[in-house]
Amino acid sequence: MRTKILASVIAAALALSVGAAQAGENLRIGVEGAYPPFSWKEADGTLKGFDIEVALALCEKMGRECELVEQDWDGIIPALLAKKYDAIVASMSITEERKKRVDFSSKYYNTPAKFVAAKDADFDDTPGGLDGKVVGLQRGTIHQCYMEKMFPGVELKLYGTQEEVFLDLGAERIDAQISDSVQALEGFLSTDAGKDYAFLGGDQFDLECHGEGAGIAVRKGEDELRSAFNQAIKDIRADGTYAEINAKYFDFDIFGGETN
């Protein structure tokens, strides 16, 4: 009897030590690093931005060390599935199409999409207004889905990064672009390169394409990790950490309505 009891105690202790080890392991986070102000890379290679700070704050709440892994957007989901990292924190919108491949946490922000064009543009943000125009956007994003669905006759020019879109817009190689409105404002319109440009029309939204806001992607079936992220998002919202990060980059609450 004593032998059985001792064996049980040892087994329980081992289980606790394994659990503690897993909790303390580095959490590898896939990030893009080319989507300011959400993520960008400094000259010395340091990753900065809203997504980066949110990722680090969530890891801290979860009692884990963050290891940031830079990845081009085109391959960001395949790299997660290949176990290059454990989760994606890269302004990835929660859509039904993506849910077929990965699971998501609850949202950690939600902002609308908008077009940007020259201030003196002589066209509007309707399918008819954009007829014959060239609209640039980052490929593999919700904006590609939206344009192909809602503006099927408009010529699209696809880019690997959002920075490339803005460069071509500023060089007048495209007539307009579509992206997240906050990213367009902070990453282009508020810069010297964007001084002759403005938003074209209002918010653009389609639930199927734009989804429920930006969430953290994990591999399917990793429910414990997804739940841990959900709790950590609640925690940083409740203790003021989220508000502090938010205020560094934006003058409004980027989280969006609670029902979004």
Q: What is the pTM of this model?
A: 0.81
Sheet with 87-93, strands from edge to edge, namely 65-70, 26-31, 87-93, 214-219, 102-104
Ordered by where they begin, the domains of the chain are: 2-110+212-249 (3.40.190.10), 113-210 (3.40.190.10)
Answer whether 253's CB lies under 8 Å from 213's CB.
no
Q: How many degrees, rounded to 5, is the angle at CA 90 between CA 86 and CA 106? A: 75
Residues 209-222 have a mean pLDDT of: 96
pLDDT at 3 over 90: no
Residues 31-40 have a mean pLDDT of: 95
pLDDT at 260 over 50: no
Q: What is the pLDDT of residues 113-123, one digit of tens each?
A: 999 999 999 99
pLDDT at 25 over 60: yes
- Please state, rounded to an integer, the average pLDDT across all residues of the chain: 91
Residues 124-136 have a mean pLDDT of: 97
Percent helix / strand / coil, the chain, rounded to 5: 40, 25, 35
Q: How many residues does the chain have?
A: 260
pLDDT at 235 over 70: yes
Instruction: Tell me what pLDDT residue 257 has.
Output: 72
Q: How far apart are CA 24 and CA 63, in angstroms?
A: 6
